Each structure stands twice: as structure tokens, then as C-alpha cells.
């Protein structure tokens, strides 16, 4: 999804559902059916007319281009939807279970309406599919069968031009399925390959966190150390005493994002070192007391990069290159400076729609950073990321105990779904990280205890997510205990 799509989805207000005795007949359900019908027959003219007549003021205030991209994008990615059933219904809100015509996947969409007639739409957003979706879980009897299912699924997406990138599923470090699709550079018709370097987005956070863990193992710092021990004045003397290393690792520090208004107004060429990036963060302050809430923080991970420099007395990029990339055998991974010559780098593309409904692409060259850093923006390949995962599991980067510590939830600091630099699903034991931005969509999944590792990297915004979810469902089916 693009940033503008997120704006549309973000208009949904979170809240608990209560079942309605007249399920399926509420104003919200009627509007949900209209939304699905509009997605299925999407044209810019119809979208404009519907937004003007059926959307509430807050939704209408969003750029019309955002609405057009959202509805047209939903149509393209799904091939249209079949209405399955009402998943949940409450006063003013309905969640409908849908089936994608393109892939057969189940999804759910939530529509919220105003409390009085004409019940204009106040928000639209995605929800996890339930009920019949669970009954459609795949049955997989072999790795070869799983590989064929991935191949067919990705090929379907590629034919619809909703995926461009590379996919690698491995077990115990050996590829089960590998494929590359689409173009790394549309201007010159350069195809993507398995060794194409894709932007990592936020996946760099894993590298920063593992490097911090190495320093902890060496006794050079502690997860409980206050930030003041290394940066006594950031963001202020008082705040530095409250923030602990573990808060920075878990997004519970209260710091925000240094990708702020100054960054948007500035030349990207200004920001190449950790100190350059820290200049953007110097006005940050705590949004809450450290350890009391969870809020995704690019600034927190950037600060950890500076801590690494203070502790090691080395440049962050040099240190990570030597102690992580080289140690893991990652030969095509770095925070490349984009005004240099960098072989095999994919250009990122974001889908847009013209007034006549035809699709076009805009590259992201002038949107993202000139050079990635501790919080994200570097480059890697699907093969290198499997090497990274295998090195972690084999104890080549940190000990087995530390790897386990990093990839378990941290409820004691209000981080139930994130460990030390790794996303964590406590139920499935899948750990890793994703990265997203216009023209960037990457993900690493380590299926703990199974030997499986999956990497999906796309140079289409939002492109990796359907493939990620498909592989997760297949691996889950493959590793499901038999009775």
C-alpha cells in the first residue's frame, strides 16, 4: 500500500465489536456491500461520484487521488471480491469476509459509518479473515508440493503485474523454492534476479539489534544500561536517564521518528552518516514514559546506531559490515550510497492510476534516503538474508541463548509482539522483520523449530505481503502435527 492508501485505511477507529441481532441488515453492512461493488467495478469516475456522495467529511478531506489509488489498487490486487458473509457486525461498523477472485485468498474489510442517516462512510480498513477462511487451510504433504504451490501463486500475481521481486524459501539453509520476477529497472527493461539487491526498509533494525546484542555478550554494555551512559544529553539529560537500551530495542522508549518535516524539506544528500541523521532527531522528546507503551520508533533504532559508535569507537557502517555481514557471509548487503555506482540495485516503483483508469508507475528515487542507516534503508538479497537467518540459528552471530532472548516477546516493557529488534508472533513462533515504503516491500520469516526460512523482497510498494501470507499458510500446513 502507498502512504496515501494508509491514510484511507487509518480512518477506521479501533474498537470492540458487539454482535447485532439483525446481522447483515445494518446501514454499515449495506455500505460495505457498496464498497465491495465499487472495488469490483472500479473506475475513477465512479469512485469520485461515490466519495462525494457517500463519504463523511473527514474521509472526503483526503486527496481524491488517495481514494482512486485505494479502490483501483484493491481491484487490481484482488481481481475483485466475492462476498462471503458478515464476519462481525456492531452499531456503526461491519466487517465482511471476502474471497479474492485473482488468487482465491480470503480477506476481510471493515466499514464504519456515521451514527445517523444517510450513514456516510467514516472509515475503511482491513481486518484478519476468520470463519470460512480457517476452513480453507491448505493441505501440504511435501516440500516439493509446497514449492509448486508457491510457484503457481507467485506466477498468478506476476501475470496480474502486482508482484515484482524475488522469493526464496529454504529449509536448513537449502533452497526449496527460489524465483525472481519483474523488472529491477523499468527504464532499461532490466529483469530482477536472485542476486538483485532490494531495499530492506526497516529490516536493517535486525542488524542494528544483533550488533547491540554482540556488544552485550562482550560485556561492553547491558540491556538495562541507561542511554545517559552513552549519550548523556539526548534527547535531554532527564530523558536520557530514563531510557534504557532495552526500551530502544523494543520500541518502548517514547521516542518518535526522525523522518520529520526537516527531512522532507532537506536534500537527501545531507544525510550519510549516523551523526548526520542524529541531527534530524535532536528536537525529539518523549511521548510517554519509557517502558509504559509501545510505539514504533525509527529514532530509537538510530540512537542504537550511535550507541554502537560510542562503544566501539568505530563508524557504524564499518562495524556492522565487519561483525555482522562478513561473519554471516552476506556478500551483497550494505547501506549503499545511491549517488555511487552500485551494481544490481533494484529501483522501487509505486503504482498510480490515471484519470482514464489506466495504470502507471512512479519510481521512488527522490522519495527515500540517499543512504540507509541503523533504522532502515539498506539493501540486501534473498540469498544473503537466508545466510543471515542461518548464521543466527547456528550461533555464528550471537549465542543460542541470546537469539532466543531477542526473539521472544517483552511484556515487562509493554512489548508483547516485538522482542529485541525482531517481530515476534508468540502463537506461531515466526520471528523476523518486514520493511515497507513506497516502492519497497520486504520480509524475512524465521519459522523457529522447523528449519524453514522465507524471504520475500519486492520493488513494488506492498508487493510482498500476499506472498508472505501464502508462504506462512503453507509452512503452517506443512508443519502441522498429523493425527
Condensed to tens digits (0 to 9), the pLDDT of residues 69-102 reads: 999 999 999 999 999 999 999 989 999 999 999 9
Residues 213 and 420: beta-carbon distance below 8 Å: yes
Q: What is the pLDDT of residue 138?
A: 75
* Order of strands across the sheet that contains 423-425: 174-181, 165-171, 452-458, 440-447, 430-437, 423-425
Q: How far apart are CA 301 and CA 378, in angstroms?
A: 14
The strand ranges marked E within 42-136 are 81-90, 93-100, 106-113, 121-127
**What angle is formed at CA 317 by the lines to CA 311 and CA 322, rounded to 5 degrees?**
85
Peptide bond into 257 cis (omega under 30): no
β-strand partners of 447: 430, 452
pLDDT at site 5: 39
**Residue 480's pLDDT is what?**
86
Encode pLDDT of 410-435 as tens digits. Answer: 999 999 999 999 999 999 999 999 99
- pTM for the complete prediction? 0.91
As a whole-number percent, the residues of the chain with pLDDT over 90 amount to 84
- Domain 3-135 grouped into CATH 2.60.40: no
Segment 241-267 mean pLDDT: 90
CA–CA–CA angle 286, 287, 290 (5° rounding): 65
Distance CA 406, CA 436 (A): 22
pLDDT of residue 24 exceeding 80, the answer is no
Domain ranges of the chain: 3-135, 198-478
- Mean pLDDT estimate for the chain: 92
pLDDT digit string (tens) for 451-472? 999 999 999 999 999 999 999 9
End-to-end Cα distance, the chain:
40
CA distance 432 to 422: 5
- Given pLDDT bands bounded at 50, 70 and 90, which one contains residue 21? very low
Is the preceding omega at residue 118 within 30 degrees of 0, hence cis? Answer: yes
CA distance 394 to 327: 12
Q: How confident is the model at residue 268 (pLDDT cuts 50, 70, 90)?
A: confident
pLDDT mean over 473-482: 89
Instruction: Identify the pLDDT of residue 483.
Output: 52
What are 134-187's pLDDT values in tens digits? 565 678 999 999 999 999 999 999 999 999 999 999 999 999 999 999 999 999
Spatial contact of 44 and 356, defined as CB atoms under 8 Å apart:
yes
Could you give the C-alpha distances from 331 to 194, 245, 427, 444, in angstroms and in order?
13, 29, 33, 17
| CA-to-CA separations, 350 to 40, 191, 250, 367, 442, in angstroms, rounded | 21, 17, 30, 11, 14
75 SS3 class: helix
Range with the poorest average pLDDT among 38-52, 117-131, 195-209, 371-385: 117-131
pLDDT at position 1, please? Answer: 35
Tell me, what's the pLDDT at 133? 55
Q: Which fold has domain 198-478?
A: Beta-lactamase (3.40.710)
Cα distance between residue 139 and residue 256, in whole Å: 43
Q: 207 near 324, Cβ under 8 Å?
A: yes
Q: What is the pLDDT of residue 130?
A: 83
Residue whose cell numbers read 510517554 = 288
Average pLDDT estimate for 241-259 = 95
- pLDDT digits 0-9 by tens, 280-320: 888 889 999 999 999 999 999 999 999 999 999 999 999 99
Percentage with pLDDT > 70 across the chain: 93
Lowest-pLDDT choice from 18-22, 87-91, 353-357: 18-22
Asked whether the beta carbons of 305 and 371 are under 8 A apart, the reply is no
Q: pLDDT value at position 345?
A: 98
- Mark out the alpha helices in 61-140 (DSSP H runs): 64-78, 132-135
**pLDDT tier for residue 259 given thresholds of 50, 70 and 90:** confident
Amino acid at each position: 500500500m502507498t502512504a496515501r492508501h494508509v491514510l484511507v485505511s487509518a480512518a477506521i477507529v479501533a474498537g470492540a465489536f458487539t454482535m447485532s441481532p439483525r446481522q447483515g441488515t445494518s446501514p454499515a453492512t449495506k455500505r460495505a456491500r457498496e464498497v465491495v461493488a465499487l472495488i469490483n467495478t472500479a473506475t475513477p469516475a465512479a469512485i469520485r461520484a461515490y466519495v462525494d456522495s457517500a463519504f463523511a467529511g473527514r474521509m472526503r478531506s483526503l486527496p481524491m487521488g488517495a481514494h482512486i489509488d485505494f479502490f483501483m489498487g484493491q481491484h487490481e490486487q484482488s481481481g475483485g471480491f466475492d462476498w462471503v458473509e458478515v464476519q462481525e457486525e456492531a452499531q456503526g461498523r461491519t466487517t465482511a469476509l471476502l474471497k479474492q477472485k485473482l488468487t482465491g485468498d480470503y480477506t476481510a474489510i471493515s466499514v464504519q459509518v456515521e451514527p445517523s442517516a444517510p450513514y456516510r462512510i467514516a472509515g475503511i480498513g482491513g481486518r484478519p479473515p476468520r470463519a470460512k477462511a480457517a476452513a480453507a487451510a491448505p493441505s501440504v504433504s511435501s516440500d516439493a508440493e509446497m514449492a509448486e504451490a508457491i510457484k503457481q501463486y507467485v506466477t498468478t500475481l506476476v501475470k496480474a503485474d502486482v508482484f515484482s521481486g524475488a522469493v526464496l524459501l529454504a529449509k536448513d539453509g537449502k533452497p526449496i523454492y527460489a524465483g525472481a520476477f519483474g523488472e529491477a529497472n523499468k527504464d532499461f527493461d532490466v529483469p530482477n534476479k536472485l542476486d538483485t539487491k532490494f531495499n530492506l526498509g526497516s529490516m536493517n533494525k535486525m542488524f542494528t539489534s544483533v550488533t547491540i546484542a554482540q556488544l552485550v555478550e562482550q560485556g561492553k554494555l547491558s540491556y538495562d544500561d541507561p542511554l545517559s551512559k552513552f549519550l548523556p544529553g539526548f534527547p535531554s539529560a532527564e530523558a536520557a536517564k530514563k531510557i534504557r537500551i532495552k526500551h530502544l530495542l523494543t520500541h518502548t522508549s517514547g521516542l518518535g521518528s526522525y523522518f520529520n518535516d526537516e527531512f522532507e524539506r532537506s536534500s537527501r544528500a545531507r544525510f550519510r552518516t549516523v551523526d548526520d541523521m542524529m541531527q534530524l532527531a535532536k528536537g525529539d522528546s518523549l511521548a510517554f514514559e519509557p517502558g509504559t507503551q509501545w510505539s514504533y520508533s525509527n529514532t530509537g533504532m538510530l540512537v542504537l546506531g550511535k550507541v554502537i559508535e560510542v562503544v566501539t569507537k568505530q563508524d557504524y557502517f564499518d562495524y556492522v559490515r565487519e561483525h555482522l555481514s562478513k561473519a554471516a557471509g552476506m556478500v551483497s548487503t550494505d547501506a549503499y550510497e545511491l549517488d555511487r555506482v552500485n551494481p544490481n540495485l533494484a529501483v522501487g516503483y509505486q503504482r498510480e492510476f490515471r484519470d482514464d483508469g489506466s495504470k502507471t508507475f512512479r519510481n521512488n528515487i527522490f522519495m527515500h534516503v540517499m543512504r540507509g542507516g541503523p533504522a532502515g534503508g539498506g539493501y540486501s538479497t534473498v540469498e544473503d538474508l537466508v545466510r543471515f537467518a542461518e548464521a543466527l540459528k547456528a550461533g555464528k552471530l550471537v549465542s543460542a541463548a541470546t537469539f532466543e532472548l531477542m526473539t521472544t516477546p517483552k511484556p515487562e516493557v509493554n512489548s508483547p509482539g516485538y522482542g529485541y529488534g525482531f517481530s515476534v508472533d508468540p502463537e506461531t513462533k515466526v520471528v523476523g522483520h518486514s520493511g515497507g515504503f513506497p516502492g519497497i516491500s520486504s520480509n524475512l520469516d524465521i519459522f523457529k523449530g522447523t528449519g524453514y526460512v522465507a524471504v520475500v523482497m519486492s520493488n513494488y510498494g506492498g508487493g510482498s505481503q500476499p506472498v508472505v501470507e501464502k508462504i506462512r499458510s503453507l509452512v503452517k500446513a506443512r508443519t502441522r502435527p498429523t493425527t
